[in-house]
A and B are shown apart, each in its own frame.
Chain A
Amino acid sequence: SAVISQKPSRDICQRGTSLTIQCQVDSQVTMMFWYRQQPGQSLTLIATANQGSEATYESGFVIDKFPISRPNLTFSTLTVSNMSPEDSSIYLCSVERATGVTDTQYFGPGTRLTVL
């Protein structure tokens, strides 16, 4: 399995500010994913982050609002910019680890963001 940590675990932010969430993996991975989980909802993919290339964003998510960095194979950041209360969600990073027979994704513990 992969060990993934996220910082911060939670934060309360003011409208109009930005927050950068960090995701650290204990081993090198090619692809990292960022998901958003709005209150009481399921997970929705924000973007896929590959090292050395621009992140690929899903429909409804744009780079100006959610800039992503992927400086190396073990680390990524997601910034939530110019926040509004609608951005209050849990943000999770995940990685895929193919282990021959099974392909599973491993998730970080999430960052719970509240925007006032």
Chain B
Amino acid sequence: SQQGEEDPQALSIQEGENATMNCSYKTSINNLQWYRQNSGRGLVHLILIRSNEREKHSGRLRVTLDTSKKSSSLLITASRAADTASYFCARGGSQGNLIFGKGTKLSVKP
């Protein structure tokens, strides 16, 4: 399968805690993107990290990329109940499309 692997598949934490999700991929990349999906609806783009970047921040989100290990992680700090969603990493495909990882289902309990 071309899909990346993400772990954990599911994560349940308390509000205020940090959530870390990991993504691994198999081929070389130009960039890696992270998306969020609420309740099986459309995806929202969160952050893009390029292959020559190691770390990127956006608000409470921090993404790291290790191209030598072909892995990336998404950290959400001080989580909120509204962060409850599924999170997907994605890399570019040959058609200009995205190839998605299997996703992590995050549940943040108030």
Report A's interface with B, CB cutoff 8 A: 4, 31, 33, 37, 41-45, 48, 56, 90, 92, 94, 96, 102-110, 112
Which parts of B25-63 form the interface with A (CB within 8 Å)? 31, 33, 35, 40-45, 48
- A107 x B42 contact (CB < 8 A): yes
Q: Is B16 an interface residue (CB 8 A)?
A: no
A26 to chain B, nearest CB (A): 14
Task: Offer 28 A-B interface pairs, CB within 8 angstroms, sorted by A.
Answer: A31-B95, A42-B3, A42-B103, A43-B43, A43-B88, A43-B98, A44-B100, A45-B93, A45-B95, A45-B97, A56-B95, A90-B41, A92-B43, A94-B43, A96-B96, A103-B31, A103-B48, A104-B33, A105-B97, A105-B98, A106-B45, A107-B35, A107-B42, A107-B43, A107-B44, A108-B42, A110-B40, A112-B40
What CA separation (Å) do A110 and B42 show in the bound complex? 5
What CA separation (Å) do A90 and B95 show in the bound complex? 21
* Chain A interface, DSSP helix/strand/loop, else mixed: strand
What CA separation (Å) do A88 and B8 show in the bound complex? 26
Chain A residue contacts of B43, Cβ below 8 A: 43, 92, 94, 107
What CA separation (Å) do A43 and B87 show in the bound complex? 12
Contact of A48 among B33, B88, B96, B99 (CB under 8 A): B96
Binary A-proximity of B67-110 (CB < 8 A = 1, otherwise 0): 00000000000000000000010001101111111110000000
What CA separation (Å) do A7 and B48 show in the bound complex? 29
What CA separation (Å) do A45 and B42 show in the bound complex? 14
Chain B residue contacts of A31, Cβ below 8 A: 95-96
